[in-house]
Structure 1
Amino acid sequence: MNLAGLSLRDLEYITAVAEHLHFGRAAQACGVSQPTLSGQLRKLEEFLGVEIFERSPRGVLVTRRGEEVVAQAKRIISEARRLFEVVRIGAEPLTGTLRLGVISTLGPYLVPFLLKPLRARYPELKLLLTEGHTRVLVRQLEEGELDALLATSPIGDSELVELPLFREELALAVPRDHPLAQVEAVNPDDIPVPELILLAEGHCLRDQALELCPSRLREGSAELQAASLETLRQMIAAGSGVSFMPQLAIQVGALLDDMVAYRRIAGGQHMRDVALFHRPSFGRIRDIRLLRQSIGEILAEQSAVKVHKPGGRARESA
């Protein structure tokens, strides 16, 4: 087959339609007219000899064979982007655009600590932040849609490189009038499991909560769920129950402090590890490692969390 009949622009059309499942929105995302995009995709399907999309008045679907084409198109586009990354290796560190994913239970609480100091250190760096659930962000990183990811460790079966950043404590958040609000530290056996509120499916903090009380808490046993940490905090303030809250979220969320009490859990084992992840083949590894170093220094200066030493998983108190 002659490769002259295939272009990266065609592959961008494929991935855009697969993402939006709508030719009009895909054309808008690609900056072309819908007839141009639709016509080019028809030619491409004829050239490849495969129907990538199933078209009907009710919408657009990706065919079974089309799913393989879409996956390969994403990989090719990712490798094409690497060409530009390789060219940039000799440029100034942390300049240009860096697409950084941040899990939703971390982004609103960590990013405020970082933006101003990072801008002061690297004025030519443009951070494009994407917030979401771990699974979705990991897939985007693996497929080249993101350059790096801030998430809790571990992230499951993945070939991504992990650079440990810091460890933050998980505290038990209870209403101010709750009996546990009067104690200095909560014994793990005293955690009121029947009152526990979990985050919705997809949040890594939900999985951690299930692991913290494995003998007494099972999937589906919690009657109340929250879509976000802030909703969770408000439910606790309203007296709906108790839950686990990361250290950074406690520091940033001061508005409900008169209604929510945070109590350490005895034993010191209720923690979550946060790391910066990237693809092994990413061309700007030097930038990623420099970003990791900068984040560690910024958090240590502000005594926000316990920061990992650059050499490994050993920790030093910030």
Structure 2
Amino acid sequence: MGANAFDGMQRSMISMALSAVSLRDLALVQAVARQGSFNSAARAMHISPSGLSHQVQKVEQALGVPLFERGGRRVVPTASGQRLLAHIDEVLAAAGQLEQGARAGALAFGGELRLGVPSTLGPYLLPHFIEPFPQRFPGARLTISEGKPRGLLRRLHEGELDAVLAPPTTSVNGIESTALFFEPYELMLHVDHPLASRASVSMDELDPADATLMAESHGQGAADLGAEGMANPARIQDLSLESLATLVALRGGYTLVPILARERLASIPNVVLAAVEGARPGRHIALYWRSASPWQDDMQAFAALLRDLASRIPGLSA
């Protein structure tokens, strides 16, 4: 028999011997090394000294080398034992990580929900569900990413996010969705606008040339408002809501802003808010996630939580 064949057989025999060694056996060896005594290790591991000695011998036989020098007042590792104990520590640490990961799998969303939210929605909706989320999904961490809906949905499709809140879009293979709520828009007018003193204004009372709309929040621009082409394309701005409000405050006219942003935007100088009379423009928000996600029930539960919250937030309709 050649040397290579013998080495292969020896490795196979060692592998078969090690298959009879449990993590508990390795933990007992680790305890002896740390305690420096079979008796102390036996007490710490809740096993008899003779039982502990037997299990340590089983590990030594499986490895083919003695791990400890016996007979002295203190049990110390052999040279081979010191080297192999480092590997045993690594195996037990890896087993602990494996167990921790398995426990996380039992948590909602596997322990973390990576949620994408449009920047025109996140700052105004998050305060409403940051507190209820851990109550509904104990142990699960919520990680938020803001951006534009199209970019967020692309990141969802590529696996960077687990779910996305966004207005309805064309269906995409491999992506599931469920409707959440409708958020109406309110008018924001410059304080010197002729209709600024009114509590409510009809859209047909306004001059389309005075409108400054935000492309992100209004999806296809003026088309979402029920008035195709009502705004000059040059005045459809890709801005945050705060920047949009500041623009109206500086150059006049009016815009439309989501109702959830009312409290924060109302404090901006030189602008006033008014309700829209008649058929109110607004945006529908849906929850998107991958069809292959193992957390289908959790996604539906999260959607139910958001619908329930929307039903209790003034102005929204679930």
> Shared topology, TM-score over 0.5?
yes
1:180 CA displacement: 1.6
Q: State the match for 2:287 in structure 1.
A: 276
Partners of 2:228 and 2:144 lie apart in 1 by 38
The aligned runs of 1:40-51 (5 Å cut-off) are none
**Which of 267, 277, 292 is the aligned partner of 1:255?**
267
**Which of 244, 250, 262 is the aligned partner of 2:256?**
244
Q: State the match for 2:24 in structure 1.
A: none
Mapped pair 1:130 → 2:145: yes
User: Which amino acid in the other structure matches residue 158 of structure 1?
Assistant: V
Identity of aligned residues (%): 31
CA contact (8 A) 2:213 2:231 kept: no
1:184 CA displacement: 3.2
Change in CA separation of 1:250 and 1:230 when aligned onto 2, cut-off 3 Å: same
The aligned runs of 1:129-278 (5 Å cut-off) are 129-153=144-168, 155-159=169-173, 160-199=175-214, 203-205=216-218, 207-212=220-225, 214-217=227-230, 220-222=233-235, 225-256=237-268, 259-278=270-289
CA contact (8 A) 2:266 2:272 kept: no
Please tell me the root mean square deviation across aligned C-alpha atoms, in Å. 2.6
User: Which amino acid in the other structure matches residue 190 of structure 1?
Assistant: E
Partners of 1:171 and 1:134 lie apart in 2 by 21
Partners of 1:95 and 1:89 lie apart in 2 by 5
What SS does the corresponding residue of 1:108 show, helix, strand or coil? helix
State which drifts further: 93-102 or 127-136.
93-102
User: Which amino acid in the other structure matches residue 93 of structure 1?
Assistant: A
CA contact (8 A) 2:208 2:232 kept: no
What SS does the corresponding residue of 1:283 show, helix, strand or coil? coil
Partners of 1:306 and 1:262 lie apart in 2 by 20
Query: Structure 2 unaligned runs (5+)?
Result: 1-101
1:299 CA displacement: 3.3
Partners of 1:129 and 1:276 lie apart in 2 by 14
Change in CA separation of 1:107 and 1:178 when aligned onto 2, cut-off 3 Å: same
Alpha-carbon displacement from aligned partner over 1:129-164 (angstroms, at most 9, x marks no partner): 1111111111111111111100112x1242322211
Partners of 2:286 and 2:228 lie apart in 1 by 28
Which is greater in Rg? 2
The aligned runs of 1:86-97 (5 Å cut-off) are 91-93=106-108, 96-97=111-112
What SS does the corresponding residue of 1:101 show, helix, strand or coil? strand
What SS does the corresponding residue of 2:159 show, helix, strand or coil? coil
What SS does the corresponding residue of 1:303 show, helix, strand or coil? coil
What SS does the corresponding residue of 2:267 show, helix, strand or coil? coil
Partners of 2:150 and 2:302 lie apart in 1 by 23
Larger relative contact order (C-alpha < 8 A, sep ≥ 6)?
1
1:209 CA displacement: 2.8
Partners of 2:157 and 2:272 lie apart in 1 by 39
Higher helix share: 2
Alpha-carbon displacement from aligned partner over 1:103-124 (angstroms, at most 9, x marks no partner): 1111111111111222333341
TM-score (norm 1): 0.61
1:212 CA displacement: 2.3
Q: State the match for 1:50 in structure 2.
A: none
